[in-house]
Amino acid sequence: MNAQITVEELATLMRTAAGVTVAPEELLERGEAGGFEALGVDSLGLLGIVGELENRHGTPMPPDAERCRTPRQFLDLVNSTLMAGA
């Protein structure tokens, strides 16, 4: 299994765990400017995404993961955690 998640995987997780459909391209275009709130992902949705990642990878995510404001911050934190556990 890949030790990092991609923007495409995050978009899929947002759809399945948070019920929010966002194109991966939109996540890339928004960069740091487009936070999860602006995309329609609330704290419970983000918690669902974190839980799904923990189940898939068998690695606990840091508590800061559910407090990330933007998809870029989230990907950076989660991927560094996954790489450290790889």
* Domains in the chain: boundaries: 7-85
Question: In the structure encoding, which two tokens stand for residue 42, read together?
Answer: 């609330």
- For residues 13-38, give the mean pLDDT: 87
Q: Return the pLDDT at 84.
A: 87
pTM, two decimal places: 0.88
Unique residue bearing structure tokens 């999860």: 36
In the structure, what pLDDT confidence band is assigned to residue 2 with cuts at 50, 70 and 90?
low
pLDDT at position 26 is 87
Superfamily grouping for domain 7-85: ACP-like (1.10.1200.10)
Band of residue 31 on the pLDDT scale cut at 50, 70, 90: low
Q: What is the separation, in whole angstroms, between the first and last Cα of the chain?
A: 10
Sign of CA dihedral 28, 22, 65, 13: negative
